[in-house]
Amino acid sequence: MHKILIPVDGSIHSMKALRIASDLAGKYQGRLYICHVLLRGKDASDLMALEISSQFDKPLHQILTKAISANLGPAPDKILRKVGQIIVDHFAEKARNQGVELETIPILSGNPADEIVKMQQKIEAGTIVMGARGVTHSDGSTFGSVSQEIFSRAKCTCISVK
């Protein structure tokens, strides 16, 4: 079975990447492996700006709204883990609705490119499908720094989606 790793961060590009990865999995009897690396350094306003923020429950929404008002800086890991789990669960549900076989990987923590490349090697994924850009603000380049690093280091097919 062909293994397809899809790192998700809640961005519009990762949502598009899921559709492509799901199509590939369906056509080639593949299995998706959905992973998320903590969005370290992101503050509450960054998290509320995610496409997926509509999935946040009321208590999380209130916490993030208060943090924005108080300008508290980067969100703590506890909040990032909760947001990450919502992201993974949402993407998994979308893939299941498309009839795709999948596994979710426990939330990863560390340098995103390092964690994604390590996970690709660990599960022996033949393909990584990911958004060309994530939640980090663009400098105008075609690819984000994480995707560029992954594409240069991964020993498998990498597909970028914008």
pLDDT at 89: 97
pLDDT tens for residues 102-131?
Answer: 999 999 999 999 999 999 999 999 999 999
Average pLDDT of the segment spanning 14-30? 94
pTM over cut 0.85:
yes
Confidence of residue 72 (pLDDT cuts 50, 70, 90): confident
Confidence of residue 135 (pLDDT cuts 50, 70, 90): low
Q: What is the DSSP letter of 53?
A: G
pLDDT at 141: 43
Domain residues for the domain of 34 are: 2-161
64 with 73: CB under 8 angstroms? no
pLDDT at 1: 75
- In the chain, the number of structural domains is 1
CATH of residue 42's domain is 3.40.50.620
pLDDT score of 32 more than 60: yes
Cβ neighbors of 21 (< 8 A, separation 6 or more) are: 4, 6, 32, 95, 127, 129, 159
Closest to 146 measured CA to CA, from 8, 3, 20, 46: 8
Confidence of residue 139 (pLDDT cuts 50, 70, 90): very low
